Structure 1
Amino acid sequence: MLSSEFIYGSFILAIINFVVRLIGFSYKIILSKLIGPKGIGLFQMVFPILMVFVTITTAGIPIAVSKLIAKEKSLNNYYRIKKVFKISVTLTITIAIFLAGIVIIFSNFISNNIFKTNEIYNSVILLAPAIILISISSVIRGYFYGLKKVTISGIAQVIEQIARIVFVIGIIYYFYPITPSKGAFIAVCGISVGEAFGLIWLIFNYKIQRYKNTFKNAKNITSLKILYKISYIALPITISRIINVLLQFANAVLIPQRLMIAGYSHPEAVSTFGRVVGMSLPIIFLPFIVTSALVINIIPNLSEQVALKNFSKIKNNISLCIWITLLVSIPLTFLFIFFGKSIAMFFYKDRLVGKYIEILGYSTIFISTYHTLSGILHGLGKQIIATINYLIGMSFQLLATYFLVANPSFAINGFFIGFIVSTAIICILNFISLNKVVKVKINVTNSVLKPAISSILMVLAIFITSNFLSIKEINTYFSFVICMSIGSLVYVLTLFATKGISISLIKKIWK
């Protein structure tokens, strides 16, 4: 895949991710207003449980399927593509059913003994069908990513989000007003409903795709060998993701409990947790719209290029990935730090959330870069190294959550310290690991200095525009949109003026 084609594919994925995240983000804002911070807090307690279980089937297996199918496609081994897919689906369904049974059996223990609240008991039971549906959808999406048919998977995600929103908002409005626990229950139910609609779309397209393929090059391979290849790729990635969701699970348990030790009441602790995890972090993770597209695109791409031994393209695409990541994450870091309160007031009308966004904003560039670097390491077959790096960084965050959050001098700031430092650690370790595998040259001027200068001018433009509009007494929401639009325009124009973005590259992508 040529560099311009790689960026084009990532651009298409980024658009799809933007639409999906915009819909999801709007949904979370509406949901937070309908069920309140406590309802969001209860939902965020249940959600990590789902993530703990589905990570086993959705973290490593879809990536393994994507890599293997991309590799076999580059070698025209179409028979193996079909066999890899069938074995991976069978494996996923078997594991998913087993995990769903565990959730049902231990639902009472999870709600009453771990979270020490009966308010989430029904929601925990309802996670069982979601585990099965999400698992099957993920492996089919991995199949389409391997074939580089990203639009099919993207549309499935859009369908899933729309179906979930229509169901949840519709039911809540029908029974409104509702208690926070019932609101959380309906939100959990919406996960399964949305996934069911998305899965129907994926299966429909798979049946069409299956008949379009002609499996001429039927090089046989044993099922056991395919299973070994899937496990070799999937296991380290799955362990890494399990660590992540276990950390989310630990945060869901520890943060409210440690905040109460620091002097918070139970409602205050749950509401603070909801503001941080349910409201602030989704905004901080906005760069994932782009980095997720890069990661999804780079993993099968690198797998294909490694199989073909195209080392020059490997280096070129890695450099492009890092450049695009910094191009997006640097201005967002500036925006979160300087305009966190304005962003929070626009979306949530909550100044406390704005304070949290401003603090967490310092981690934006680290989160984005380590996410991209992890995807690159996975694509190069260095998933074990990426997992070790992640484990080291997350260990620091867990320690900070346990020891600092309970200290009244730190309280929730203890979580922020652990979060920022841990993401920086992972980012640095991933970069060191990558350079040991592939010597990547980063143009500091184009990748860092020019985006930073453009970001500074963007911030100044927003401040000037904001002051001007405040004098004119323009509506707050309208003023926010104008300020951000002008700031974004200044950033892009400055990049073009300083040749931070090549016009020739844009022309290639357009063609």
Structure 2
Amino acid sequence: MKKQLHPLVGGTLLLTAAGLMTRLIGFFYKIFLSRAIGAEGIGIYQMIFPIYGVCYALTTSGAEIAVSRFVSRENGAGRPQSARQVLRVGLLLALGLAIPTAFLLYENAAFLARNILQETRTVQLLQIMAFTIPFGACHSCICGYYYGLKKPAVPAAAQLFEQLSRVGAVFLIYRVACEQGMGLSPLTAVIGLVIGEFASMLFCVFCVSGQSAPPGKSADGSGAPSLFSLTRQMLAMALPVTGNRLCMNLLASAESILLPLCLQQYGLSTKQALSVYGTLSGMALSFILFPSVLTGALSVMLLPSVSESQAAGDDASLSRTVRKTVSFCLPLGISFTVLFLLFGRFLGNFFFRSTLAGDFILTLAWICPFLYLNHTLHSILNGLGRTGTGFFNNLAGILIRILFVLCFVPRFGIEGYLWGLLAGQLIVCGMNLASLQEFLHN
């Protein structure tokens, strides 16, 4: 008989393949953007993502994780109809927050650009970005449903379809603009973001609506929670996750907003500060985060697997999962640290035509082992229901980075921030490992 892959391994490989293709497309897209709109344009474009992160945390993050975990529970109990009910509740919760959030963002874009981001050129970008919020909420919940079923093919395809739609739309606009003697602006990149999210949502809705009614016990069958009970249970999980993510994204937004301002205190002009910020966030980090496609795929599949093992009381399986995660992520991170140390300057110069990007890659290489490991350890903590522990550990890391931004960047420039990134990742990694030590020694 042909031996089948374990769902965790098979799902991780599938998501890794899709993520790798998506990252490759996105990587070359970043190179294209860096040359089409320049380092300053990249900096302005990147400035809106802290606001996007806050909106996503408020409307989607808790609902997606709750859908994934409860679908896994209901499907594992032989109640696939109840699993569909979980999806409906998750969509209702997410869209109930996403639509008013998008409206408020659109109406208050000028205030946010002027008083929060301190950059009036981001007004239109924020207004256009507001349209992505309901689309993203819908497609994230549907992806959470398929993750809970351990069927990552649809989320993987949706991820790839979103990237292709985004890049294809921007490239089409670029060709039209070239024919008319015009150039691209950061606004074009945001329009591509909206088109990508909309296309991904349509794809997910088409897939889930075309799925035949699952056999098994009905949502009202024996042991299945009532609609009220299910909603209450999902809220009980989603609200703390949403609160944690919202807090983290607010702090991350503060970090991203403070960094260009502190660079100006160091002595850079507004244009220079935005260029340095754009080079770091839009160019150098593209390389550093590229290998995380492996750990990101593993993190997504770990949550439902860990939840099932915990529900079954299988501590031995949990211990194996944690140990294998560490033994995979640490060598991966060390390998890429060596790679970036050897070729960092060449990569920055060759791909982005930027010596500064190469210097950033060289410095950031040291965070790779801790960065890749932290992604997966945080997912394990969420799967175990220890969302508070994961939140506290990540909170410590981001507060360290903000401290470095405020205290070291005005004196030492961008180097002060890079030191903060390394210190934060190192400390969070130690705290995550300490939180899971019982599984490391079994």
Counterpart amino acid of 2:439?
K
Report the number of matched residues. Answer: 435
For residues 298-323 of structure 1, give each alpha carbon's deviation from its aligned partner in whole angstroms, at most 9, with x where no partner exists.
Answer: 10011112222222222222222222
- Which residues in structure 2 correspond to 1:70-89 (within 5 Å)? 70-89=72-91
Counterpart amino acid of 1:175?
A
Shift of 1:441: 4.0
Indicate which of 296, 320, 327 corresponds to 2:324: 320
Instruction: Indicate how the Cα distance of structure 1 residues 441 and 336 shifts in structure 2: closer, same or farther if over 3 A, else same.
Output: farther
Matched, 1:353 2:368: no
Distance 2:186 2:402 in 1: 26
For residues 176-208 of structure 1, give each alpha carbon's deviation from its aligned partner in whole angstroms, at most 9, with x where no partner exists.
Answer: 4656xx611111111111111111111111022
- Which residues in structure 2 correspond to 1:332-481 (within 5 Å)? 332-407=336-411, 410-435=412-437, 438-441=438-441
What is the aligned partner in structure 1 of residue 293 from structure 2?
289
For residues 448-506 of structure 1, give each alpha carbon's deviation from its aligned partner in whole angstroms, at most 9, with x where no partner exists.
Answer: xxxxxxxxxxxxxxxxxxxxxxxxxxxxxxxxxxxxxxxxxxxxxxxxxxxxxxxxxxx
Matched, 1:229 2:229: no
Instruction: Indicate how the Cα distance of structure 1 residues 113 and 5 shifts in structure 2: closer, same or farther if over 3 A, else same.
Output: closer
Matched, 1:301 2:310: no
What is the aligned partner in structure 2 of residue 461 from structure 1?
none
SS across alignment from 1:15: helix
For residues 15-46 of structure 1, give each alpha carbon's deviation from its aligned partner in whole angstroms, at most 9, with x where no partner exists.
Answer: 11111111111111111111110110110011
Contact 1:239 1:387 in 2 (8 A): no
What is the aligned partner in structure 2 of residue 213 from structure 1?
214
Distance 2:182 2:430 in 1: 46
Contact 1:3 1:317 in 2 (8 A): no
What is the aligned partner in structure 2 of residue 147 from structure 1?
149
Counterpart amino acid of 1:416?
L
Indicate which of 187, 196, 199 corresponds to 2:198: 196
Distance 1:431 1:5 in 2: 25
SS across alignment from 1:62: helix
* Runs of 5+ consecutive residues of structure 2 not aligned to the other structure: none
SS across alignment from 1:381: coil
Distance 1:38 1:193 in 2: 24
TM-score (norm 2): 0.94
Instruction: Indicate how the Cα distance of structure 1 residues 191 and 54 shifts in structure 2: closer, same or farther if over 3 A, else same.
Output: same
Contact 2:331 2:369 in 1 (8 A): no
What is the aligned partner in structure 2 of residue 133 from structure 1?
135
Distance 1:5 1:85 in 2: 21
Distance 1:8 1:161 in 2: 22
Instruction: Indicate how the Cα distance of structure 1 residues 369 and 278 shifts in structure 2: closer, same or farther if over 3 A, else same.
Output: same
* Runs of 5+ consecutive residues of structure 1 not aligned to the other structure: 443-511
Task: Using the TM superposition, name which of 121-130 and 236-245 deviates more.
Answer: 236-245
TM-score (norm 1): 0.82
Indicate which of 112, 120, 123 corresponds to 2:122: 120
Task: Using the TM superposition, name which of 112-121 and 278-287 deviates more.
Answer: 112-121
Shift of 1:331: 0.4
- Which residues in structure 2 correspond to 1:242-281 (within 5 Å)? 242-281=246-285
Contact 1:172 1:183 in 2 (8 A): no
SS across alignment from 2:130: helix
Contact 1:3 1:316 in 2 (8 A): no
State percent identity of aligned pairs: 30
Task: Using the TM superposition, name which of 396-405 and 269-278 deviates more.
Answer: 396-405
Matched, 1:102 2:99: no
Instruction: Indicate how the Cα distance of structure 1 residues 413 and 48 shifts in structure 2: closer, same or farther if over 3 A, else same.
Output: same
For residues 247-287 of structure 1, give each alpha carbon's deviation from its aligned partner in whole angstroms, at most 9, with x where no partner exists.
Answer: 44223321111111111011111100000111111211123
Shift of 1:63: 1.4
Higher-Rg member (1/2) = 1
Runs of 4+ deviating beyond 6 Å: none
SS across alignment from 2:439: coil
What is the aligned partner in structure 2 of residue 459 from structure 1?
none
SS across alignment from 1:406: helix
Distance 1:126 1:164 in 2: 14
Matched, 1:23 2:12: no
